[in-house]
Chain A
Amino acid sequence: MREPSHARQMVGSLLVAAAIVAIVIVVVTLELGPTSVAELEAEEERRDARIERAEERRELQEERRDR
């Protein structure tokens, strides 16, 4: 009867550790916010794509006007 209790207590201790890990990841990630390099790069890529699409549209309009 001692063994299951020991195992259960140990698993419980490890689950508490897992909860600590999850909480720290959430809190630190929230604190870091959208400053990550990946996020900034993605934002820049989206902006570039928008500018590119706008330029393409402008070129198409100019082509149509020329015809």
Chain B
Amino acid sequence: MFFGSLSPLDHPRDCRSFPFALEDLVEELTRGNVTEVKVVLASVVAALAVYQVLLMAVGYGKLRPPFLGAAPASAAHRALGDAIVVVTLAVAFMCLTYFGFDEGESVLHAVTGFLLLAVLAVKIAVVRWWHGMSRFLPVLGICVLLLFAVTWASSAGDFLIGGPE
């Protein structure tokens, strides 16, 4: 969900594609720590995505822990999924409005970020309306996890490991 450089000190204003008012809003909300807030939120949703896969493995009966049944695991997966989507959209909003698009190494990040949003939208549609396609939910879920991982690694992970370069 991070399009462009994550360095707070390397942030060319002319590369931004959105009105400055939105950038100011994001900056105000994060008290100037846009990058740091984004890294924390993205790391939270990435970690929760892994937990979601575990919950659904219980939901589908692939894992059978004695303390958690399939139905509560599925219900928790659904509730948590709604929260993850909201946070993911917030991070995407911050990326697009504050960092915009940047040619170069962030192309992979931008592509996986957009793919992630697209697959999430399809998954939500299948869960809520397109019940006939429910057999694709495990594949969609694994795709979401992989896209979360690559999107996080190409930006937040890179920032955490390599620093703000």
Where the two chains meet, the residues of A that have a C-beta atom closer than 8 Å to any C-beta of B are 5-7, 9-10, 12-14, 16-17, 20-21, 24-25, 28-29, 31-32, 35-38, 41
Contact B80–A6 (Cβ < 8 Å) = no
- In Å, the complex CA distance between A6 and B59 comes to 13
B59 to chain A, nearest CB (A): 10
Q: Which secondary structure dominates where chain B touches chain A?
A: helix
- CB within 8 Å of A: which B104-137 residues: none
8 Å CB contact of A9 from B47, B48, B69, B80: B69
- Which A residue's beta carbon lies closest to that of B160? A31
B33 to chain A, nearest CB (A): 5
Contact B76–A24 (Cβ < 8 Å) = no
- Which B residue's beta carbon lies closest to that of A37? B32
Query: Which 9 pairs, one residue from A and one from B, show the smallest C-beta to C-beta distance?
Result: A13-B76, A9-B72, A37-B32, A10-B72, A36-B33, A24-B47, A28-B43, A24-B44, A28-B40
Where the two chains meet, the residues of B that have a C-beta atom closer than 8 Å to any C-beta of A are 8, 31-36, 39-40, 43-44, 47-48, 51, 55, 67-69, 71-73, 75-76, 79-80, 160, 164
Contact A10–B75 (Cβ < 8 Å) = yes
Q: Output the residue of A10, A13, A14, A28 with the most chain B CB within 10 A.
A: A13
- In Å, the complex CA distance between A14 and B55 comes to 10
Contact B75–A25 (Cβ < 8 Å) = no
Contact A16–B51 (Cβ < 8 Å) = yes
- In Å, the complex CA distance between A25 and B40 comes to 6
Q: Output the residue of B40, B73, B164 with the most chain A CB within 10 A.
A: B40
- In Å, the complex CA distance between A35 and B39 comes to 13
8 Å CB contact of A36 from B36, B44, B79: B36
Given contacts A6-B72, A25-B44, A32-B36, 14 further A-B contacts (CB under 8 A): A6-B71, A10-B75, A13-B55, A14-B79, A14-B80, A17-B48, A20-B44, A21-B48, A24-B47, A28-B43, A37-B8, A37-B32, A37-B33, A38-B31
